[in-house]
Chain A
Amino acid sequence: MADDTATGPILEVQDLVYSFGGLRAVNGSTFSINRGGINALIGPNGAGKTTLINVVAGALRAESGTVRFNGMDITGWQSHRVALQGLIRTFQISRELGGMTVLENMLIPPPQQSGENIFNAMFRPGMGHRQDKILVEKALARLDDFGLYDSRDQYARNLSGGQKRLLELARGVMAEPKLMVLDEPFAGVNPALIELLEGHLLKLRDSGITFVMVEHNLNVVERVCEHVVVMAEGRTLATGKLSELRKNEEVITAYLGGALTAQPKAAAVDAHVVGHAERAEPILRASGLTAGYSKVPVIQEVDVQAEPGKVVAIVGPNGAGKSTMLKSLFGLLRNSSGEVTLAGTEIAGWAAFRIARSGMAYVPQVINVFPNLSVFENLEMGGYTLKSGRQDRVAEVLDIFPDLKTARAKKGGNLSGGQRNMLGMARALMLNPKVVLVDEPTAGLSPAYTGIVWEQILRVAGLGTAVVVVEQNVDLAVNHADWVYVLVAGRNRLEGPAHEVGREDLPSIFLGGESPANLAAEPTVRSGSSP
């Protein structure tokens, strides 16, 4: 048994490395977490936060570096061994045991259940039942505390999205953890519940549990976290208090892609259009778009439009629902509602392949090429529905992307990250689409390649295509796009011509702080353009 009165940091991560294929998701991360308190792990998308959690908790095996927990080297341990030491993690998407009741879910985590031994289970059932009785009392008290008491005998799969988040936390506590690592515990949680969940975290902290949580909602971090670790590109960038980190140039650059030089104005809370600009007749128009996974809506009532030959950028803090919006536009999410018209045709509810055939293309962020197909074959697949002239079209597209021309016989899986993103875009252009949706084309790329990718995006727009780009790097978006939408917490926050949006107080939207308006949990009812 580890010594509970031990002093020193509870978690020490040293030079940790983990890669997926060629991408180093965690690249020498180093930090330590002291006993007690709630700590935050923040950073832009693709910083490697979830991967880091998975390595620390033993779900993935570190390539190099060490993880010390409670003074013990746990590097390379399997997840169940890590858990038994008192390091309990939760999951980003609620992982309730759906076919079991809420109460049974609560009874899984407690360690040292003698009834789990096969001989005790068969020949000394009283032992397990006596222990169960104590555990059930505990679990019910905890459920009561979390407002889940009345749902105790429901199958966990029938809980609402918010209740599942509560169960995820309550269940973790049943494992009697010393340290809890929470992966986005507030993702998809409505404002009323945020307050409740924060209250529970603070109470649990006071009972002696140390927390590390990955969180995108910086207002929450501001309120409950004493200590913040900022990650970017797989490394630890800075540590300290959020109020100080907010002024840290490096942190601002990591989040926004560059210090925005313009004198910021205070941002209003209602969705609104900044500046004055006429927009041309849109080719793609979406209004009132609401979508999400399972029961949790990630975006709500979002309006977006794009016009031919222009680049529209979608920016926003992590968890704003940017990627979800693209997927929803492309018919990849089942739980979508709202109107989407492409060149005047209503396409909401269509299957993805039908949308692809009617003039819209989509470049996903992660799996954007076929790894076992050559570059040439990848492009052919992009032009799958072309009746004739496919080879000519491949040649035309390769002319736009000279980098790919030389690699045309290589397998997609063997390309560099930047080349893959290029190939993803090139594949999307094969059908000569009217609209291209691009999801974070510069994530994980070196600055040099970032410029090349945006050059290509502008070139594509120059051909008369409407391009909708989700961009993590606000600086790039403001400098290259024609029109910028800012999404916050799944809703439109502001929009306008890129240079006008660039003059807004974006750091406060992204990192919170200064403007008191941002401390409100959610933007209020939007009053922007008419539906």
Chain B
Amino acid sequence: MSPIVYYLTTLVVFFFIFAISTWGLNLQFGTAGILNFTYITFFAIGGYFTGVSMLGRPDALSNMRYILGLNLPFPIALLIGATAAGVLGLLVGLVALRRLRSDYLAIVTVSVGAIVYDFVNVNTGLFNGADGIAGIPYPFNDSLNLDPNTYTFFYIALTGLVTLVLGLLAFRIYNSPLGRTLRAIREDADVASAFGKDSYRFRMIAMVVGCVYAGIAGGLLVGFISALNPGGWVAGETFLLYAALLLGGRGNNWGALLGAFLVPVLFQEATRYLPQIPGHAELIPALRNMIVGGLLIAVLWFRPEGILPERKAKFPGVEYLKKRKAALEVG
């Protein structure tokens, strides 16, 4: 396979993974107004748990230390990863969602992010510390036995399928009465509770489901690159997703999809292979992150609703409209 085809197929997989992440963030931030500043941590937890569930028992040969090691097939491992991310989301929600001010939740998430990062690095028995886990088997390839090139196309199909399903569900949630109630809570939680909505419970649903999305995205990444270490989920990655969502259009799943293409894929990948400046290996990534941070602020100043703003709900096929129209024509 030519390098350019390899590069493009990789990009497609990344796009799918970012799309899932951005949808999850849109459920939390765009729909329910939850400020989760460490979204990437839930992504990483999903990835780690998926990875260690697929790996066999740690042995001297692999020279890695980690928990579980269950040798499970990918779908079950992914389920474990998603559950782990959801459970962490639940715990964070238990502490922070009772307070209505968004600062408190943001503080808790920032702190949880720092603590989990620290914890994973220090407790090398969990996920092999700073070196991270590696050598995770390619999902389904023990029975498929595909050559690497063909396998990439298989994985595109696999992630594409998951993305399709999760995308469908994201749109369904947004367009459902649940999505409507979440937006009502985002607009004014007091009013929502005056109409019988338990805003704590509803926000918790958005928190957990959003984290599950992150966990699945993390699991899909681990299945693709067969490894994960703390260097792969630094705080900067969360910014990338916020920038994507805000630029694309918060509160709009099409906007989230567009943002996932524009920021993490197009912009990030377009600059990833810029020539390194000798002796200043960090310069290009640093400049790239500065642009992402600047972009975040610029979008909020110039077009806070994003490229594709949240749309008004439509209710097609309503009898009343027709009757009313008929009445007008007669009158």
Contact = CB atoms under 8 A, between A and B. Distances in A.
- Any A–B CB pair closer than 8 Å: yes
Contacts of B177: 107, 113-116, 121, 128, 131-132
A462 interface: no
Contact of A95 (B169, B190, B317): B190
Interface string A103-125: 11001110101111110111001
Given A108-B197, A125-B172, A141-B320, A103 B181 contact: no
Nearest to A155: B312
Given A59-B190, A175-B196, 6 more contacts: A80-B195, A98-B187, A104-B183, A115-B178, A118-B173, A118-B205
Nearest to B199: A80
Contact of A121 (B176, B197, B312, B318): B176
Contacts of A117: 178
B315 A122 contact: no
B184 interface: yes
B313 A83 contact: no
Which of B180, B310, B319 has the most CB atoms of chain A within a 10 A radius of its CB? B180
B194 A79 contact: yes
B269 interface: no
Nearest to B209: A118
B191 A121 contact: no
A122 B171 CA distance: 9
Counting from the closest, the 3 A-B pairs by CB-CB distance are A115-B177, A121-B176, A83-B196
A118 B313 contact: no
Interface stretch (A38-46, A84-92, A329-337, A509-517): A84-92
A97 interface: yes
23 contacts: A59-B190, A78-B198, A79-B193, A80-B192, A80-B197, A88-B195, A98-B187, A99-B187, A100-B180, A100-B313, A103-B315, A104-B180, A107-B177, A108-B181, A108-B184, A115-B178, A116-B177, A120-B178, A132-B177, A133-B315, A136-B318, A137-B320, A144-B320
A155 B205 CA distance: 26
B313 A101 contact: yes
B175 interface: yes
B313 A104 contact: yes
Interface in B159-182: 169, 172-173, 175-181
A141 to B, nearest CB: 6
A505 B319 CA distance: 56
Secondary structure of the A contact surface, majority rule = helix
Contacts of A108: 180-181, 184, 191-192, 195, 197
B188 interface: yes
Contact of A132 (B181, B193, B197, B315): B315
B280 interface: no
B179 A121 contact: yes
A473 B320 CA distance: 53
Contact of A149 (B183, B184, B193, B324): B324
Which of A79, A98, A175 has the most CB atoms of chain B within a 10 A radius of its CB? A79
A153 interface: yes
A57 interface: yes
A132 B324 CA distance: 19
A97 B318 contact: no
A136 B320 contact: yes
Nearest to B198: A80
A115 B318 CA distance: 18
B274 interface: no
A106 B250 CA distance: 23
B175 A125 contact: yes
Contacts of B321: 140
B193 A121 contact: no
B137 to A, nearest CB: 30
Contacts of B190: 59, 79, 91, 95
Interface residues of B, number: 38
Nearest to B314: A153
Interface in B296-323: 310, 312-313, 315, 317-321
A133 B318 contact: yes
Interface residues of A, number: 46
Interface string B44-65: 0000000000000000000000
B320 A101 contact: no
Nearest to A105: B184
A347 to B, nearest CB: 33
A120 B179 CA distance: 12
A120 B317 contact: no
Contacts of A128: 176-178
Contacts of A80: 192-199
B183 A91 contact: no
A153 B177 CA distance: 17
Nearest to B170: A122
Contacts of B181: 108, 113, 116
A10 B199 CA distance: 27
A133 B178 contact: no
Nearest to B315: A136
Contacts of B183: 97, 99-100, 104
A84 B318 contact: no
Contacts of A91: 190-191, 194
Given A80-B193, A83-B194, A121-B177, A97 B184 contact: yes
Contact of A111 (B172, B196, B318): B196
A501 B192 CA distance: 47
B193 A83 contact: yes
A214 to B, nearest CB: 15
Contacts of B193: 78-80, 83
Interface in A129-150: 131-133, 136-137, 140-141, 144, 149
A149 to B, nearest CB: 7
B173 A100 contact: no
Contacts of A116: 176-178, 181, 202
A78 B180 CA distance: 22
A125 B176 contact: yes
Contacts of B179: 121
Nearest to A153: B312
Which of B180, B183, B195 has the most CB atoms of chain A within a 10 A radius of its CB? B195
A84 B209 contact: no
Given A89-B194, A108-B184, A108-B195, A137 B318 contact: yes
Interface in B178-232: 178-181, 183-184, 186-188, 190-199, 202, 205, 209
A141 B321 CA distance: 10
A125 to B, nearest CB: 5
Contact of A133 (B186, B196, B317): B317
Contact of A144 (B197, B199, B209, B324): B324
Contacts of A99: 183, 186-187, 310
B197 A101 contact: no
A78 B201 CA distance: 13
A152 to B, nearest CB: 9
A109 B195 contact: yes
Interface in B28-45: none
A111 B193 CA distance: 12
A393 to B, nearest CB: 39
A100 B192 CA distance: 13
A83 B202 CA distance: 16
A95 B190 CA distance: 9
A180 to B, nearest CB: 11
Nearest to B171: A125
Nearest to B183: A100
A83 B320 contact: no
